[in-house]
Amino acid sequence: MVKKIAIVLFFIMTSCNFEKPTQFSTEALQDTLYDVSHKKYSFQQVLEQYKGKKIVIDVWASWCRDCIRGLPQLKELQRKFPEVTYLFLSVDTNVNSWKRGIQHYQIKGEHYNLPKGMKKGALVDFLNVSWIPRYVVIDENGKITLFKATKASDKNIEKVLKNS
């Protein structure tokens, strides 16, 4: 009996990892972000600015050790795929720390802040952000082609950038 319960729990837990939406929810698209000038946008407005381009979204924070460790691999992606838009969504709740992190680590790309942080908000809920960094790839048609990567070195990122 215990073995059967363990097997059922295993399938329930792993089935959650297979969630691969291809479009953002309406609620996620309506979530609020701020640029470095503190101008307010909906996530949909941000995505519309890059319509027709491939986008790599990096959900990160200046205090996140794994995010910082992944920057060299992300910069390598930027070198290999310069035509791609790199959209950095910070979950820093301290705006000054976020801005200092961009400067200190010389992060090139488009920068926005999710002011509610990592635990609240429709976009982080949709992405099911339980760990950062988190990478999402969107193709030229606005379709999510890679929903969940936790390392910039994930070979699936390059694969979808080459194929989409």
Q: How far apart are CA 140 and CA 138, in angstroms?
A: 7
pLDDT tens per residue across all 164 residues of the chain: 655 554 544 444 444 444 688 888 999 999 999 999 999 999 999 999 999 999 999 999 999 999 999 999 999 999 999 999 999 999 999 999 999 999 999 999 999 999 988 888 999 888 888 889 999 999 999 999 999 899 999 999 999 999 85
Of 80, 91, 101, give the one whose Cα is nearest residue 153: 80
Domain residue spans of the chain: 22-163
Q: Do the beta carbons of residue 43 and residue 25 sit within 8 Å?
A: no
Task: Provide the pLDDT for residue 72.
Answer: 96
Query: Which has the closest alpha carbon to 154: 59, 80, 79, 70?
Result: 70
Report whether the peptide linkage leading into residue 115 is cis, meaning its omega lies within 30 degrees of zero. Answer: no
- Please state the φ and ψ torsions of residue 159, each to the nearest 5 degrees: -60, -50
- In CATH terms, the fold of domain 22-163 is Glutaredoxin (3.40.30)
